[in-house]
Amino acid sequence: MLRYTLRRATQSGPLLIGISLIAFLLLQAIPGGPTAAYRGTATVTADDLARIERDLGLDRPILIQYGLWLGKFVTGDWGVSFVARRPVLDLIAERLPATMWLMAAALGLSILIAVPVGVVAAIRRGRWLDNVITGASFVGLSLPAFWLGLMLIVIFTVWLGWLPGGGIGPPGVDPDLPTRLRYLILPTVTLATVSTGFFSRYLRAAVIDVLSRDHIAFLRAKGVSRSSLYLKHGLRSAAIPFVTVVAIHIPEYLVGTVVVETIFAWPGIGRLFWESAARFDYPVLMGVLVLGALLVVGSNLIADLLYGVLDPRVRYD
């Protein structure tokens, strides 16, 4: 497995370079370019812009600029924020734990609800319980995250006063774990709602497909108990495609945090990306985009490794 992991990590190198190049070119194509944050102000003249572009190396050909950026990036120099005047890597390192907390909580809640709900819907296929679960899943898939987040704030913060509606803790106070969890509830529910509906629908379809196969009919004829039939054989066989879907969906949480963290004033990577986009903070945008690419590659690698755990027939030769 170690050799397989190293080989996959090596193969991911060209992919990451290609993604970073595309992101670099797209950001360069922004009207005004990377110096758009300095334009349109009375204090910055044309001579100042020319000097800034020269200092940043923006007067060089685009591929040379990318090569210089890539050389610094792989050595840990992700650039300096135009706005905060701080290293991009430091800004991301400060915000990353809050986003990881939110993503882990949302993913855990989604799987915790989606697995039993999806299996029950598959077992009760076509009955009233399946119809209720299917309807609830479609509602979850249809709710916009920004609307759901605002409604949760109105209900549980404004009307009922049960839960805080923003931030990671009380201002000026280092919160303890129970306090952090209270502040985590509403953004977690908002971020997990759509993925819960998606996961349950996919797992339902996967379990129905497994239960319709010939070997399940053979096991049923042999008198295998229903619990063993559904859980040991049905759910385990459906777990591999489900793991793939979950792994592919993990990077989408990073996209969802842009909206959720902005609504709930959650100090994470998503909010950092939104603030940087509003201020044309080009180095920070580039760092967050490459971080997202790393998350995509890493989540797919984890999914591949989990295949061998779920199915002993999978080998990494």
CATH number of 94-310: 1.10.3720.10
Measure Cα distances from 199 to 106, 158, 208, 232 in Å: 12, 31, 14, 19
Alpha carbon distance 208, 43 (integer Å): 66
| pLDDT for res 41 | 63
Residue 99 has pLDDT above 90, yes or no: yes
Residue 56 has pLDDT above 90, yes or no: no
User: What is the average per-residue pLDDT within 71-98?
Assistant: 90
| pLDDT for res 10 | 78
| pLDDT for res 4 | 67
Tell me where in the chain the CATH 1.10.3720.10 domain(s) lie: 94-310
Query: pLDDT category, 87, cuts 50, 70, 90?
Result: very high
| Tokens, residue 150 | 């605002």
Query: pLDDT category, 176, cuts 50, 70, 90?
Result: confident
Query: pLDDT category, 179, cuts 50, 70, 90?
Result: confident
Alpha carbon distance 265, 248 (integer Å): 27
Radius of gyration for the alpha carbons in the chain, expressed in angstroms and rounded: 24
| pLDDT for res 38 | 67
